[in-house]
Structure 1
Amino acid sequence: MKAAAATAASVAVSVGIVLLLVPLLGGHPDGPGFWMSVLCPLVIAGPASAWQFQQSETIARQRDALALMHVKLESAHAELKDLHADLQVRARTDTLTGGLNRGAFFANLDVESRRNAGPVAILIADADHFKHVNDTFGHLVGDEALRRIGAAISRAIGERCWWGRIGGEEFVACLPGHDRAQALQVAERVRRSVASAILVSDNRPVPLSVSIGVACGHGPFEPVDLFRRADADLYSAKAGGRNRIVIDGREVNSAAA
């Protein structure tokens, strides 16, 4: 339609020019000259207009297709970016409790050991009689028990601190800026929170408690040494009767902590 309209306009202009100029030049606008003014635009302008409009529409369609493709690519890029971020979080997170996994925790601890110039503490908490919980109440209840312990640690530590699950029922927290007294206060909050948690299965209460080992240092510190000391105190807490806190090889009076 556009090509036909353009061709008709070309014919009208061509005829108009012939009718206007030929008399001025002393001729007569009739005969072969008149018909040539009609035929030439039809032969030239028709195909040229059709080709031009077809190309314009093709370019417009391609432009729209490219714009749509660009939008889809941007959407795909955003989805990939979100997926990458999610995978990064998942790669560092313990899916059961929401804390850091073992690798992520120790990577953070290594960084902290080099940049920390003040007091720092590590506490290691281990669920008491966890095999008995699993065997008596089932693994689903055991999983819920681990989530309760993780939640207790998360509530007890400060904003600059972090925690993770590094074994089946073993948790660890790093407390930058915490001296001995502050670290023991955190450990006692964790111990009390777990011991007072109410978990019931088939109308039977599930006993929950943790033993905690605490080690304190001053940055820069050696992560392996600090962790080894806290781990040794954890075993002392286990051997001493469980549901207790040990630091530097000595059990802490919970009421004093």
Structure 2
Amino acid sequence: MKAAAATVASVAVSVSIVLLLVPMLGGQPDGPGFWMSVLCPLLIAGPASTWQFHQTETIARQRDAIARMHVKLEDAHAELQRLHADLGEKARTDALTGGLNRGAFFAALEEAVAHGRGAMALIVADADHFKTINDGFGHLVGDDALRRIGGLMADTIGSIGIWGRIGGEEFAALLTDTGRSAAIEAAERLRLAVAETKLLADERPVSLSVSIGIACANAPCAPIDLFRRADDDLYRAKSGGRNRIVIDGREVVEIAA
């Protein structure tokens, strides 16, 4: 349609020129000259304008297609970034509890103690009598118990430090810019929260508690030494009756007294 309109316009202009100029030159606008003014635009302008408009429309369609492909590529790139971030997060996260997994937690611990400054505390907590829960109520209940403890770790530790599940029923938390008293208070909040948790299996109550060891230090320090001290005190809490906190080889209730 555009080419036909351009051709008609070309014919009209050509005929108008002939009708105006030929009389001014003393001639008559008729005969072969007149028909040439009609035929030439038809033979030249028609194909030329058709090709030109076709090329313009082709370029426009290709430009639109490229723009759509560019939008799709940006969407695909954004989705790829999201999936990569999700994959990275899943690689660092314990699927059962939502905390850091062992590798991610110890990597964060090493980074903190190597480059941090000031007081910090490592809390290591272990679920008491967990084998009894698994044997007496089944592994699904055991998994539920771990999820409950993980949720309480997030509630009591998540806003002031990092935490993760570092073993089957063992959890750890790192509190930076935290001294001895604040670390004991955080550990006690966790211990009480776990002990007060109501968990039922087949309408039977499942008793939950954790034993906790704490190690305090000033960064930078050796991560293996910090963990060994906290783990040793966890063992003392276990052997001392469970459901208790030990720091520097002494039970917290004894220190408070």
Range of TM-score over shorter length: over 0.9
Alignment of 1:57 with 2:57, yes or no, is: yes
Alignment of 1:72-111 (within 5 A): 72-111=72-111
Shift of 1:255: 9.4
Contact 1:149–1:194, Cα closer than 8 Å, also in 2: yes
Deviation at 1:4, TM superposition (A): 1.1
Unpaired runs of at least 5, structure 1: none
Counterpart for residue 168 of structure 1 = 168
After TM superposition, the structure 1 = structure 2 runs for residues 148-159 of structure 1, keeping only pairs within 5 Å, are: 148-157=148-157, 159=159
Alignment partner of 1:177 is 2:177? yes
User: What secondary structure sits across from 1:69 in the alignment?
Assistant: helix
In structure 2, distance between residues paired with 1:28 and 1:188: 114
| Mapped partners of 1:151, 1:39: distance in 2 | 88
Alpha-carbon distance, 1:155 to partner:
2.1
- Of stretches 122-131 and 152-161 in structure 1, the one that deviates more from structure 2 is 152-161
How far residue 251 of structure 1 moved from its aligned partner, in angstroms, is 2.1
Q: Which residue of 2 aligns with 1:256?
A: 256
Query: Identity, % of aligned pairs?
Result: 69
Matched, 1:128 2:135: no
Structure-1 separation of matches of 2:158 and 2:51: 73
Please say if residues 93 and 99 of structure 1, whose CA atoms lie closer than 8 Å, have aligned partners that are also in contact. Answer: yes
Equivalent position amino acid for 1:141 in 2: V
CA-CA distance at 1:232 after TM superposition:
1.0
- The 1:196–1:254 alpha-carbon spacing in structure 2 relative to 1, beyond 3 Å, is farther
Following TM superposition, by how much is the alpha carbon of 1:193 offset from its aligned partner in structure 2, in angstroms?
0.8
Secondary structure of 2:94 counterpart: coil
After superposition, the C-alpha distances for 1:64-109 in whole angstroms (9 at most, x for unaligned) are 1111111111111111121122122111111211111111111111
TM-score under structure 1 length normalisation? 0.95
C-alpha distance in 1 between matches for 2:156 and 2:23: 105
Change (3 A) 1:140 1:255: farther
What amino acid sits opposite 2:152 in the alignment? A
1:115-144, CA deviations, whole angstroms, 9 ceiling, x for partnerless residues? 322111111001111111112112221111
Task: Give the TM-score normalised by structure 2.
Answer: 0.95
Note if contact 1:213-1:237 (Cα within 8 Å) is conserved in structure 2: yes
Structure 2 gaps, min length 5? none
- Cα distance in 1 for partners of 2:242, 2:73 equals 57
Aligned to 1:138: 138
> Which is further off, 128-137 or 153-162?
153-162
1: CA distance between counterparts of 2:153 and 2:40?
Answer: 91
Aligned to 2:203: 203
Task: For 1:217, give the aligned amino acid.
Answer: A
Matches within 5 A, 1:193-232: 193-232=193-232
Offset of residue 247 of structure 1: 1.4
Distance in 1 (CA, whole Å) between partners of 2:200 and 2:159 is 31
Structure 1: which amino acid aligns with 2:118? G
C-alpha contact 1:188 1:254 (8 A) present in aligned 2: no
Distance (Å, rounded) in 2 between the aligned partners of 1:256 and 1:201: 36
Alignment of 1:36 with 2:36, yes or no, is yes
- Distance in 2, matches of 1:252 and 1:2, equals 91
CA apart distance, 1:252: 2.1
What is the total number of aligned residue pairs between the two structures? 257
User: What SS does the aligned partner of 2:163 have?
Assistant: strand
